[in-house]
Amino acid sequence: MKKLRHAAALALVVWYLIQAPVRPCVGPADPGLSYDYLNRRADQCFDLGASLTQWSSGGDFASEDECWVAIFPQLHTHLPVPRAPQLMCISSDDPRLAK
């Protein structure tokens, strides 16, 4: 019975693709300057220190792998993936979402 409850609990976990909130840029060397993958816009600045509750959702997925492949399809081809600190795949049971 314990294994069945554990399996049921795992089935309830959803993975969210989230993106840091956009903020005004302070110049061309701004450390938050990056590509806006959710809105397909260049030269956006992101508040990487914002609480995760302020980040925007880009969808929900059954697994962490599905979450990342949704935004970076080249993961299946073993091509390099761009660095994107403004994006995160996070499970619905992550305690940081409650803060």
Domain count, the chain: 1
Give the DSSP H/E element, type plus range, for residue 16.
strand 15-19
Give backbone dihedrals phi and psi of 55, rounded to 5 degrees, phi first.
-75, 150
Cβ(41)–Cβ(56) below 8 Å: no
Which pLDDT value is given to residue 7? Answer: 45
**In the prediction, which pLDDT does 54 show?**
92
pLDDT tens-digit readout, 28-55: 778 777 767 776 777 778 898 899 999 9
pLDDT tens digits along 53-78: 999 988 999 999 898 888 777 566 66
Task: Tell me the pLDDT band of 4, cut-offs 50, 70 and 90.
Answer: very low
Higher pLDDT: 36 or 11? It is 36
Domain region containing 67: 2-98
Per DSSP, helices labelled H in 1-99 are: 2-11, 64-71
